[in-house]
């Protein structure tokens, strides 16, 4: 999309995220191999300095984070998928390692919420209903 640096772009948002939130997001994407980040422009230091100069309730805004980042080829492909980056990476690697069916099944189960969610006051009823599905050969969802 060529929108520039995330911290610069996000300062223009209606409700811009804190510098810490952006830093954590960049670290996650860097860990996945989706972006290359140059922290040498003072990203970590500027967050620490701005935290020291603000009161306890306020968090530094995105303008205090100053880093360079760029998409990797993996990041480019992850950006085109409408899923969480971790799940997208699993799907891409599943295609690369020729195990698409397995990867998509795991990705789908990780993307969906637990089918056995229940209100707190009806937890015993939900556990009893779940036990009806349990067998010796049962998978991890019903045990």
- Digit-coded pLDDT (tens) for 102-121: 999 999 988 887 766 778 88
Extract the tokens encoding 71: 């998409």
**Got the DSSP string for 84-100?**
-HHHHHHHHHHHHTT-H
Residue that is written with structure tokens 């997001």 in the block = 25
Give the pLDDT score at 48.
40
CB 11 within 8 A of CB 21: no
Nearest to 134 by CA among 119, 116, 110: 116
**Residue 33: pLDDT band with limits 50, 70, 90:** very high
State mean pLDDT over 137-141: 62
State mean pLDDT over 54-64: 49
The predicted model scores a pTM of 0.67
H helices within the chain, ranges in order? 6-10, 19-32, 43-53, 73-80, 85-96, 100-111, 123-133
Give the pLDDT score at 1.
62
Give the pLDDT score at 63.
56
**Residue 128: pLDDT band with limits 50, 70, 90:** confident
Question: Residue 52: pLDDT above 50?
Answer: no
Compute the mean pLDDT over every residue in the chain, rounded to the nearest whole number: 78
Give the pLDDT score at 135.
72
Give the pLDDT score at 133.
73
Q: Within 10 Å of residue 55's Cβ, how many Cβ atoms? A: 7
Question: Residue 125: pLDDT above 70?
Answer: yes
């Amino acid at each position: 999309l060529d929108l520039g640096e995330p911290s610069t772009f996000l300062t223009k948002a209606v409700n811009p995220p804190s510098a810490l939130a952006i830093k954590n997001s960049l670290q996650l994407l860097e860990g996945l191999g989706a972006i290359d980040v140059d922290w040498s422009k003072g990203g970590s230091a500027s967050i620490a300095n701005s935290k020291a100069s603000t009161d306890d309730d306020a968090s530094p805004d995105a303008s205090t984070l100053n880093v360079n980042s760029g998409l990797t080829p993996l990041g480019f492909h992850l950006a085109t998928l409408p899923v969480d980056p971790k799940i997208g990476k699993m799907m891409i690697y599943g295609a690369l390692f020729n195990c698409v069916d397995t990867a998509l099944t795991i990705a789908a189960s990780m993307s969906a919420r637990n089918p056995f969610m229940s209100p707190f006051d009806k937890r015993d009823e939900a556990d009893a209903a779940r036990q009806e599905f349990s067998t010796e050969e049962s998978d991890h969802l019903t045990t």
